[in-house]
A and B are shown apart, each in its own frame.
Chain A
Amino acid sequence: RKEVEQDPGPFNVPEGATVAFNCTYSNSASQSFFWYRQDCRKEPKLLMSVYSSGNEDGRFTAQLNRASQYISLLIRDSKLSDSATYLCVVKDNNAGNMLTFGGGTRLMVKP
Chain B
Amino acid sequence: ETGVTQTPRHLVMGMTNKKSLKCEQHLGHNAMYWYKQSAKKPLELMFVYSLEERVENNSVPSRFSPECPNSSHLFLHLHTLQPEDSALYLCASSHPGTGNSPLHFGNGTRLTVT
Binding site for B on A (CB under 8 A): 2, 4, 31-32, 34, 36, 41-46, 49, 87, 89, 91, 93, 96-99, 101-104
Contact = CB atoms under 8 A, between A and B. Distances in A.
Contacts, number: 58
B102 A97 contact: no
B66 interface: no
Interface stretch (B11-19, B72-80, B104-112): B104-112
Say which size band chain B's interface belongs to.
20 to 34
B96 A97 contact: yes
B43 A43 contact: no
A44 B42 contact: no
Contacts of A103: 40-42
Contacts of B105: 43-45
